[in-house]
């Protein structure tokens, strides 16, 4: 949004003086958005009887089996008819950085 305001909006007649970033508010909004999306997905999983396991997953050589390493370092091997590994997300670099 900052990049848009600083470099693009003026050519459309929108002039922004004293443009600043409040990093605290920006990060709080991001956390709220992530929490809302995560809760929504978790709700859909529960509604559809999908077991949700947080951790780093690795498919094993055995069909229907996944090795999960939790944040605390513990591991468990899970078996299921269907397995979905969500790769997560990573921050995108902004133009000019």
Going edge to edge, which strands form the sheet with 65-69? 56-59, 65-69, 75-79
Q: What is the pLDDT of residue 74?
A: 96
Distance, in Å, from the CA atom of 58 to the CA atom of 77, rounded to the nearest integer, reads 9
Phi-psi region of 19 (alpha: psi -120 to 50; beta: other; left: phi over 0): beta
Token digits of residue 95:
């133009």
- pLDDT value of residue 51: 87
Beta strands in the chain (DSSP E): 56-59, 65-69, 75-79
Residue 97 pLDDT greater than 70, yes or no: no
Look up the pTM and report it: 0.55
């Amino acid at each position: 949004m900052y990049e848009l305001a600083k470099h693009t909006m003026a050519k459309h007649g929108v002039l922004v003086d004293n443009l600043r970033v409040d990093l605290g508010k920006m990060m709080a909004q991001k956390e709220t958005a992530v929490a809302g999306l995560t809760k929504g997905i978790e709700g859909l999983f529960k509604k559809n009887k999908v077991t949700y396991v947080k951790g780093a997953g690795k498919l094993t050589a055995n069909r229907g089996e996944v090795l999960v390493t939790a944040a605390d370092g513990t591991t468990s091997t899970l078996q299921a008819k269907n397995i979905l590994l969500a790769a997560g997300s990573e921050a995108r670099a902004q133009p000019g950085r």
